[in-house]
Chains A and B, each alone.
Chain A
Amino acid sequence: MSRQIVMPFGPQHPVLPEPIHLDLVLEDETGVDGMLSIGYLHGGLETLVEKRQFPEYVYIAERTCGICSFIHGMTYCQGIERVMGLEVPERAHYLRTIWSEYSRLHSHLLWLGLFADSMGFENLFMNAWKHREFVLDVMEETTGGRVIQGSCKVGGVRRDIDQETLKKMERDLKGFEKGLKEMANVFLNDDSVASRLRGVGVLSRNDAYVCGAVGPTGRGSGVPIDARMTGYAAYGELDFSPVVEQDGDCYARCAVRVNELFSSIEIIRQSIDRIPGGEIEVKVKGNPDGEYFSRSEQPRGELVHYVKGNGTKYLARSRIRTPTLTNIPPLVKMLQGCELADVPVIVLSIDPCIGCMER
């Protein structure tokens, strides 16, 4: 048996988009154990509920993450609406669904680009981000913000999308989908990608369950958890099923995300077809008093916003449990017994968002 060494990895590392520090215990080139520490980005956003009134906290909740910001805002609003017993109009639900799915497209494309970069496929990285630009343009056209949409509010949404724009969005999706298919072909069928990803960082189904993996990390290991199936917003009225892969390696996680791109496009199409007319918000009266665990599916997995009101304009507690936090134990499991050269790919395969995780 050879000597064990501890190698620091991160927080500044060329392939890591975000600051996470790993202490890798290595035996020659093989990782025996990996332990991580975080805390470079902790900002204490959750405590700001005591300083900001609950309608303004939406802006803070949204800025928890720069990538899935809309879903953060929406989940927080859902929680408050449930505590206050507000009935949000159907049209607002559909608009929220459309924006959520655009967020998912945006996040997955960003991730696919970074992932390609982490395995040294620069060309594919640029290509993925080119497609992402289309999504950002639609976002800016309809909400006014490219990454921070700011279009969700307690009781509904701030902006409506008129019928003409919706039709145009649906038409534009066709060309976008064609470009995506071409890119997906590279991710799923190219041998240079497959040989880099197959059998790397395997997470068995049982480990995924015990460690509490959520989102594409869990679904890549065959655990069919998708919070969209609870039917929040308009998801209960749309036809879709979670994308599940069985292998549990980096390739499976990548395949889940690639296939989810197309399922998102399908959900957007359905929502645009079925969107009802009418109001987009209800008036909010009074203050929240009560508690609720609001759940939704982020691109990275299940998100929980716990809100607790005490009958004043300031909430007593908001807890944001982001999917990355739950996906850290599976990451520690995956790092046990991996090759040193595979560490960047494995770390990226859970789509870590440290900004979300530490809040």
Chain B
Amino acid sequence: MKPENQELRLIDTAHLIGEVEDYRNKGHRLVNVSCTRAGEEFEISYSFELDLRFENIRIIIPLDADIPSISGIYWGAFIYENEMHDLFGVHVRGMNIDFKGNLIRTTVPYPFRNTSFKGEGPCQDR
């Protein structure tokens, strides 16, 4: 098995649109947009691929900040951005198709924003 080398660059939120446009012009495919809560911040990673080369850019934003949408550049990005909004409560500005929080119907709003499973016992309460 050949291990895949993955590049990860941390960039500033202000440069996000420019960087993504660069990738689009170079012909990269948008693979994934993922959000992770790290302490009091969100890490948002954008992954691109061209000719089996996998590259990531990452922005780190505070919990209540909003980010610009990349759906103007990659049309299909709306699905990731809506998902991110519905699960984490990240506000995305200017999505081309905005479900307004109705893409994934959840009982609790923004269920992944605060998860607290830790400390539960190994077997269910009976």
CB distance from A332 to the nearest CB of B (A): 8
CB distance from B126 to the nearest CB of A (A): 17
B2 CB contacts on chain A under 8 angstroms: 230-232, 236
Alpha-carbon distance A308/B35, docked complex (angstroms) = 12
Alpha-carbon distance A82/B5, docked complex (angstroms) = 11
B32 CB contacts on chain A under 8 angstroms: 293, 304, 306, 319, 321
Main secondary structure of the interface of B (DSSP, over half): mixed
Alpha-carbon distance A295/B4, docked complex (angstroms) = 9
**Contact A306-B34, Cβ < 8 Å, known A40-B105, A42-B104, A325-B83:** yes
Q: Among B36, B52, B75, B99, which residue has its beta carbon within 8 angstroms of that of A229?
A: B52
Verify B1–A231 contact, CB threshold 8 A. yes
CB distance from B70 to the nearest CB of A (A): 11
Verify A46–B112 contact, CB threshold 8 A. yes
Verify A225–B3 contact, CB threshold 8 A. no
Alpha-carbon distance A231/B54, docked complex (angstroms) = 13
Produce 1/0 per residue, A334-359, CB < 8 A to B: 00000000000000000000000010
Is there a chain B Cβ closer than 8 Å to A198's Cβ?
Answer: no
Alpha-carbon distance A93/B34, docked complex (angstroms) = 28
Verify A308–B36 contact, CB threshold 8 A. yes
A37 CB contacts on chain B under 8 angstroms: 99, 102-103, 105
**Contact A44-B1, Cβ < 8 Å, known A210-B74, A293-B54, A295-B54:** no
Q: Among B30, B31, B79, which residue has its beta carbon within 8 angstroms of that of A328?
A: B79
- Could you say which of B76, B102, B112 has the most chain A C-beta atoms within 10 Å of its C-beta? B76
Q: Quick one: closest A residue to B99, CB to CB?
A: A37
Is there a chain B Cβ closer than 8 Å to A314's Cβ?
Answer: yes
CB distance from B5 to the nearest CB of A (A): 11
Q: Among B47, B52, B80, B115, which residue has its beta carbon within 8 angstroms of that of A230?
A: B52
Q: How many A-B residue pairs have CB under 8 A?
A: 105
Alpha-carbon distance A42/B36, docked complex (angstroms) = 18
Q: Quick one: closest B residue to A48, CB to CB?
A: B117
Verify A230–B34 contact, CB threshold 8 A. no
A50 CB contacts on chain B under 8 angstroms: 115, 117-118
Number of interface residues of A (CB under 8 A): 47
Q: Quick one: closest A residue to B51, CB to CB?
A: A229
Alpha-carbon distance A292/B32, docked complex (angstroms) = 13
Verify B4–A212 contact, CB threshold 8 A. no
Produce 1/0 per residue, A55-94, CB < 8 A to B: 0000000000000000000000000001000001000010
**Contact A47-B111, Cβ < 8 Å, known A88-B1, A212-B76, A330-B76:** yes
Verify B29–A212 contact, CB threshold 8 A. yes
Is there a chain B Cβ closer than 8 Å to A35's Cβ?
Answer: yes
Verify B76–A211 contact, CB threshold 8 A. yes
Verify B79–A326 contact, CB threshold 8 A. yes
A325 CB contacts on chain B under 8 angstroms: 79-80, 83
Alpha-carbon distance A48/B37, docked complex (angstroms) = 15
Alpha-carbon distance A214/B20, docked complex (angstroms) = 19
B99 CB contacts on chain A under 8 angstroms: 37
Is there a chain B Cβ closer than 8 Å to A51's Cβ?
Answer: yes
Verify B1–A236 contact, CB threshold 8 A. yes
- Could you say which of A234, A314, A319, A330 has the most chain B C-beta atoms within 10 Å of its C-beta? A319
Give me the interface of A with B, judged by CB distance under 8 Å: 35, 37-40, 42, 44, 46-48, 50-51, 82, 88, 93, 209-213, 225, 229-234, 236, 292-293, 295, 302, 304, 306, 308, 314, 316-317, 319, 321, 325-326, 328-330, 332, 358
A-B contact pairs, 12 of them (CB 8 A): A35-B97, A38-B104, A39-B104, A39-B106, A40-B105, A42-B106, A51-B120, A93-B1, A230-B4, A234-B1, A317-B37, A319-B32
7 tightest A-B CB contacts, nearest first: A39-B105, A329-B76, A211-B76, A51-B117, A212-B76, A39-B104, A319-B34
Besides A51-B120, A212-B29, 12 more A-B contacts (Cβ < 8 Å) are: A37-B99, A38-B103, A38-B104, A39-B102, A42-B105, A50-B118, A210-B74, A212-B74, A232-B2, A304-B31, A316-B38, A329-B75
Give me the interface of B with A, judged by CB distance under 8 Å: 1-4, 6, 29-32, 34-38, 45, 47, 49, 52, 54, 56, 74-80, 83, 97, 99, 102-106, 111-112, 115, 117-118, 120
